[in-house]
């Protein structure tokens, strides 16, 4: 989609939603890896508009998933969690125009933290937000068959070779590692406790806006029910530098400190489930598909190629650092005076 078409589409959306006339050039906002975000100034105010990825919107059950996320968003807002919710316009949060889908937000001042300049205090505050979300309605559930990942890595290698794709050598070189870490991910998921809560698995640093030191959670379409142990482990690692391949164990522990201060269900086996860090293999597969042509346009295909390379580096780094991660989770988490495992009241 070219820029002129985007301008016209957003102008039509502004009219449809009663936002007024656009009075300045639409500005793309960086940060999103699946959808596209724009800053839109109209004669009635300043808005952030999220243009949802057309390929994502073709997935089975996608509208049910978004509806569930919107419902949870309302729960978080009513619970005092600092979020930037989508606006309700015409009785709906999701807007449709010309078979395209959008969310509209009031513009939130602030900025996203640089991945390389995240402090322990920021990690503590982010962990505290996640803990407060998990503490809203946690509970034990019946033991279920764990979600497992079974990717045909050999198939992707062959398809990449058939297309003479630039990612083919990278995939072939790391095929054995990918099979191994996917197995470790499946083992970790099988070891998770049977607990469920409201959660935001996508609450990484690019989805927290900081305004005068105060954090605001944005990009909430991934809100869902999930396993708190899995989500806190993955997010603590992301906030501590796994994404940039610069792990800072003290930042990881600061995230856990904030989290456990807000919500502690007495689980103590985080080292045993550290393999959930390898969920990056699922993000890798998604981007392999984009890199091999399952995408909206050439720009998204190129983004897929870039993400394949960076995600593969990240998986290799996690594999290298896993002994240090497990040791810290087993020995350095702050001990608390708790005597029973989980609950239905968050304590």
For all residues of the chain together, what is the average pLDDT?
Answer: 92
**Model pLDDT, residue 3:** 46
Q: Is the dihedral of CA 288, 289, 292, 298 positive or negative?
A: negative
Q: Where are the domains of the chain?
A: 3-63+84-107, 115-331
290-296 contacts, C-beta under 8 A, 24 or more apart = 291/160, 291/165, 291/167, 292/156, 292/159, 292/160, 292/163, 292/165, 293/163, 294/55, 295/55, 296/1, 296/53, 296/54, 296/55
User: Which percentage of the chain shows pLDDT scores above 70?
Assistant: 94
Is 80 exceeded by the pLDDT of residue 2? no
C-alpha 19/C-alpha 14 separation (Å) is 5
Average pLDDT over residues 254-262: 97
The mean pLDDT value for 159-168 works out to: 96
Stated pTM of the model? 0.88
| Per-residue model confidence (pLDDT) at position 35 | 86
- Read off the pLDDT of residues 225-250 as tens digits, 9 standing for 90 and up: 999 999 999 999 999 999 999 999 99
pLDDT in tens, 282-341: 999 999 999 999 888 898 899 999 999 999 999 999 999 999 999 999 999 876 655 444
Q: In terms of CATH architecture, what is 115-331?
A: Alpha-Beta Complex (3.90)
Q: For position 335, what pLDDT does the model report?
A: 66
Q: How confident is the model at residue 343 (pLDDT cuts 50, 70, 90)?
A: very low
Residue 34: pLDDT above 80? Answer: no
Give the pLDDT mean for 261-286.
Answer: 95
Segment 108-115 shows an average pLDDT of: 92
CATH second-level architecture of 3-63+84-107? Answer: 2-Layer Sandwich (3.30)
Residue 342 has pLDDT above 60, yes or no: no
The pLDDT tens digits of the residues spanning 50-70 come to 999 988 999 999 999 999 999
What pLDDT score does 334 carry?
76
At 30 the pLDDT is 75
């Amino acid at each position: 989609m070219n820029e002129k078409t985007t301008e016209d589409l957003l102008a039509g959306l502004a009219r449809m939603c009663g936002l007024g006339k656009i009075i300045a050039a639409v500005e793309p906002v960086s940060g999103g890896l699946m959808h596209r975000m724009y800053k839109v100034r109209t004669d009635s105010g300043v808005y952030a508009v999220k243009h949802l990825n057309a390929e994502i919107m073709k997935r089975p059950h996608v509208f049910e998933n978004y509806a569930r996320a919107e419902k949870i968003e309302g729960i978080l807002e009513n619970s005092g969690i600092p979020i930037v919710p989508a606006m309700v316009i015409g009785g709906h949060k999701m807007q449709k125009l010309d078979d395209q889908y959008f969310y509209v937000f009031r513009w939130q001042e602030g900025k996203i933290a640089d991945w390389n300049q995240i402090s322990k205090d920021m990690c503590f505050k982010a962990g505290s937000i996640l803990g407060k979300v998990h503490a809203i309605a946690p509970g034990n559930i019946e033991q279920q068959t764990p979600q497992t990942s079974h990717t045909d890595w050999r198939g992707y290698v062959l398809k990449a070779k058939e297309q003479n794709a630039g990612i083919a050598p990278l995939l072939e070189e790391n095929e054995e590692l990918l099979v191994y870490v996917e197995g470790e991910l499946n083992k970790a998921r099988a070891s998770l406790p049977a607990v469920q809560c409201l959660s935001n698995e996508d609450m990484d640093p690019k989805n927290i806006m900081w305004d005068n030191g105060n954090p605001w959670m944005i990009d909430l379409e991934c809100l869902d029910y999930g396993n708190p142990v899995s989500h806190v482990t993955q997010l603590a690692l992301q906030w501590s530098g796994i994404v940039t391949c610069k792990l800072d164990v003290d930042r990881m522990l600061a995230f856990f400190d904030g989290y456990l201060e807000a919500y502690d269900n007495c689980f103590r086996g985080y080292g045993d489930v550290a393999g959930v860090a390898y969920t990056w293999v699922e993000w890798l597969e998604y981007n392999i598909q984009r890199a091999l042509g399952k995408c909206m346009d050439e720009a998204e295909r190129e983004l897929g190629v870039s993400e394949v390379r960076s995600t593969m580096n990240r998986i290799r780094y996690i594999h290298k650092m896993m002994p240090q991660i497990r040791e810290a989770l087993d020995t350095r988490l702050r001990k608390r005076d708790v005597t029973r495992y989980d609950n239905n009241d968050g304590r």
